[in-house]
Structure formats: structure tokens, C-alpha cells
């Protein structure tokens, strides 16, 4: 795969108003790209707009099919050259299954945001991306696709599903100009951990995004950030050990 050019693109990042998405937005903007971000909170989006007026903001809940369709229409009408989709938005619940606080509704919300939402956006944007140069679908997953952390069962399952879908998508799109890239992120210090606790091994958003950009420029299809590379090897040669190590964190 030839490397992605990270200049003069038009890039849509879901969940771009905070955490890793915001850091990525700032970095790619500085590199000379047109940035569009979406999220549910208008307040968070407006905050980004005040800091970076050139970033285009759109309110959208990607777990809702109608809102995804509206997002697609608005983005492609206003930015007909959009060529990169970054599926970054996420929700996570830290749950104790035995305590009865894990419901089908909760699993459904996690699956809709973390799996169905990205898949829905990919299917909507696919023809658009196929017509562009230097086009890519970038799906954010996690090292926990190799070994789940038991405190976040729904989140880990939704990301494992996205990982599997991404592999199939890459094979199906191999004869198209669209690159399919998966970023397997390590623990990063963001609001993601608000319901649990920030692991000691967590890195900063700027380090996470610098590693991601390096991987994109090096044409990696699966970008394993930080300790994820080691975990991916460990999970192959000693899966039970890997699972235990992850759950000691
Ligand atoms: N942080 C980590 O340790 C870590 C580790 C591995 C992988 N990752 C991956 O990295 C990505 C970014 O994570 P993060 O740590 O930056 O998370 P974060 O700080 O919690 O940010 C998540 C973003 O997603 C948006 N969002 C949530 N639900 C949405 C929806 N239905 N529609 C649109 N936007 C929605 C949120 O904005 P609103 O609330 O305004 O919608 C927020 O901006 C995720 O894909 C995650 O799986 C993170």
C-alpha cells in the first residue's frame, strides 16, 4: 500500500471535539487539511470552533441512522472533495454483569455507536470515497481487540466486531483506490476513562496522535500504537497469559 498523503485532504472525523479526535483534528489541520468534525454536544463543537474557526463543525449522533444520512448529505454537499473518513467516536460503559447493571439497552447503545454507526457511515460514504484521490477509511479500535478488559465487556466486543469488519472491508476494497486502515490505540489519558480510572500506562493524546500520523505516513494498514504491538504478539503465542496481563492493569 502506498502511504497516505496528509496534506490537502478533506477529512471527516467523528467525535472530533474531544480526546484523541480533537488532537487529531488539530494536528491534521496544522498539516494543511480541511477538517470537518461531528459529535453530539453542540457546546463541545462550539468550543472547538472558537479555538479553531477554520474547522467545520456538525452536530450528529452517529448511532442514529437518520442523523448519519443527514451528516452524509451535508458533508458531501458542502465539501464535495471529502476523501478521508475517520471513525473515531466512542462510548464506553464500565459494568459489572453480575450486579445486574448491564442491560440489553446498554449493549445496544455501545454497539450502535461503536460498530453499527461506523459501518453505516462507511456504506454511505463509500461511493464518494471511491471517486476521490488519496482516499481512506480509518477505523479507530484498541489493543483490547486482542484481549478484552473485563470491566468494559460491551465496548471490547463492539471494537472486536469493528476489527473483524475492517479486515473484511480491506479485502473487498482491495481493487479500489480506497485505503482501509485500522488504528489499534493503546490507553490514552482522555475522558474515555471517566467511568473507570486512567491506567498507569496511559499516554498523552499528542503522543498517541504523533504515533498514529507516523503509521499513516508509513503506509501501515494496521497501526499498533505503543504496547499494542507487544499485546498482539503475546495474544497469539500465549492468549491466556495475555488476557490475564490485560486484566491485571
Ligand atoms: N482513550 C483510550 O484509552 C483509548 C484506548 C484505545 C482506543 N481508544 C479509541 O480512540 C477513539 C477515541 O477515544 P477517546 O479516548 O478520544 O474518547 P473520548 O475522549 O471519550 O471522546 C469520544 C468522542 O466521541 C464523541 N461521541 C460519542 N458518542 C457519539 C455519537 N453517538 N455520535 C457522535 N459522536 C459521539 C464524543 O462527543 P459527544 O459526547 O459530544 O458526542 C467525544 O467527542 C475511540 O474510538 C476509542 O475506542 C481510546
Task: State whether the beta carbon of 231 lies less than 6 angstroms from ligand 1.
Answer: no
Three-class SS state of 179 = strand
94 catalytically annotated: no
Domain that holds residue 15: 10-248
Report if residue 85 sits inside a domain.
Answer: yes
- Which residue's alpha carbon is at the smallest distance from atom 23 of ligand 1? 15
Q: Tens digits of per-residue pLDDT, 23-34?
A: 999 999 999 999
Report if residue 1 sits inside a domain.
Answer: no
Three-class SS state of 110 = helix
Phi and psi, residue 171, nearest 5°: -65, -45
Phi and psi, residue 14, nearest 5°: -80, 140
Question: Per-residue confidence at 98, pLDDT binned at 50, 70, 90?
Answer: confident
Report if residue 25 sits inside a domain.
Answer: yes
User: How much distance in Å is there from the Cα of 85 to the middle of ligand 1?
Assistant: 15
| Contact yes or no for 25/13 (Cβ under 8 A) | yes
Task: State whether the beta carbon of 156 lies less than 6 angstroms from ligand 1.
Answer: no
Residue 45: CB atoms within 10 A of its CB come to 21
Task: State whether the beta carbon of 118 lies less than 6 angstroms from ligand 1.
Answer: no
Percentage of the chain modeled with pLDDT above 70:
100
Report if residue 23 sits inside a domain.
Answer: yes
Question: Per-residue confidence at 140, pLDDT binned at 50, 70, 90?
Answer: very high
Report if residue 201 sits inside a domain.
Answer: yes
Q: Tens digits of per-residue pLDDT, 177-193?
A: 999 999 999 999 999 99
Residue whose CB lies within 8 A of the most ligand 1 atoms, among 138, 192, 193, for a mutation test: 192
| pLDDT tops 90 at residue 195 | no
Predicted pLDDT at 101:
72
Task: State whether the beta carbon of 45 lies less than 6 angstroms from ligand 1.
Answer: no
Instruction: Return the ligand 1 atom nearest residue 198 CA.
Output: 3
One of 72, 115, 146, 155 is an active-site residue; which one?
A: 155
Residue whose CB lies within 8 A of the most ligand 1 atoms, among 19, 66, 68, for a mutation test: 19
Predicted pLDDT at 110:
97
Cα 203 from Cα 136, distance rounded (Å): 26
Cα 194 → chain centroid: 18
Question: Per-residue confidence at 104, pLDDT binned at 50, 70, 90?
Answer: confident
Predicted pLDDT at 3:
79
Task: State whether the beta carbon of 15 lies less than 6 angstroms from ligand 1.
Answer: yes
Give the DSSP per-residue string, 37-59.
Answer: EEES-HHHHHHHHHH-TTSEEEE
Report if residue 139 sits inside a domain.
Answer: yes
pTM, two decimal places: 0.97
Helical (H) or strand (E) element with 172: helix 153-172
CATH of the domain at 28: 3.40.50.720
Predicted pLDDT at 97:
85
Cα 77 from Cα 168, distance rounded (Å): 29
| Three cell numbers written together for 133 | 484521490
User: How many domains are there within the chain?
Assistant: 1
Report if residue 54 sits inside a domain.
Answer: yes
Question: Per-residue confidence at 100, pLDDT binned at 50, 70, 90?
Answer: confident
Instruction: Return the ligand 1 atom nearest residue 188 CA.
Output: 3
Cα 97 from Cα 151, distance rounded (Å): 9
**Residue 5 CA: distances (Å) to CA of 27, 84, 212, 218:** 14, 11, 14, 10
Q: Which of 111, 95, 6, 1 is nearest to 63 (CA)?
A: 111
pLDDT (mean) for 16-45: 98
Report if residue 2 sits inside a domain.
Answer: no
| pLDDT tops 80 at residue 130 | yes
Cα 102 from Cα 94, distance rounded (Å): 9
Amino acid at each position: 500500500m502506498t502511504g497516505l498523503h496528509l496534506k490537502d485532504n478533506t477529512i471527516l472525523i467523528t467525535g472530533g471535539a474531544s480526546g484523541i479526535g480533537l488532537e487529531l483534528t488539530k494536528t491534521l489541520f496544522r498539516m494543511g487539511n480541511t477538517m470537518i468534525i461531528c459529535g453530539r454536544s453542540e457546546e463541545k463543537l462550539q468550543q472547538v470552533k472558537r479555538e479553531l474557526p477554520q474547522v467545520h463543525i456538525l452536530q450528529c449522533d452517529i448511532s442514529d441512522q437518520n442523523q448519519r444520512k443527514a451528516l452524509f448529505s451535508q458533508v458531501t454537499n458542502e465539501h464535495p472533495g471529502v476523501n478521508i473518513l475517520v471513525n473515531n467516536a466512542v462510548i464506553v460503559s464500565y459494568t459489572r454483569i453480575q450486579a445486574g447493571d448491564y442491560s440489553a439497552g446498554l449493549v445496544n447503545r455501545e454497539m450502535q455507536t461503536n460498530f453499527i454507526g461506523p459501518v453505516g457511515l462507511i456504506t454511505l460514504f463509500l461511493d464518494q470515497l471511491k471517486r476521490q484521490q488519496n482516499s481512506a477509511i480509518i477505523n479507530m479500535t484498541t489493543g483490547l481487540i486482542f484481549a478484552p478488559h473485563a470491566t468494559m465487556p460491551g465496548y471490547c466486543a463492539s471494537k472486536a466486531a469493528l476489527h473483524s469488519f475492517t479486515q473484511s472491508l480491506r479485502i473487498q476494497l482491495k481493487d479500489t483506490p480506497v485505503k482501509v486502515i485500522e488504528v489499534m490505540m493503546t490507553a490514552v489519558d482522555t475522558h474515555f476513562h471517566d467511568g473507570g480510572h486512567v491506567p498507569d500506562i496511559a499516554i498523552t493524546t499528542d503522543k498517541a496522535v504523533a504515533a498514529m500520523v507516523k503509521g499513516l505516513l508509513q503506509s501501515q494498514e494496521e497501526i499498533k500504537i505503543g504496547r499494542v504491538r507487544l499485546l498482539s504478539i503475546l495474544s497469539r503465542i500465549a492468549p491466556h497469559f495475555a488476557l490475564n496481563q490485560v486484566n491485571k492493569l
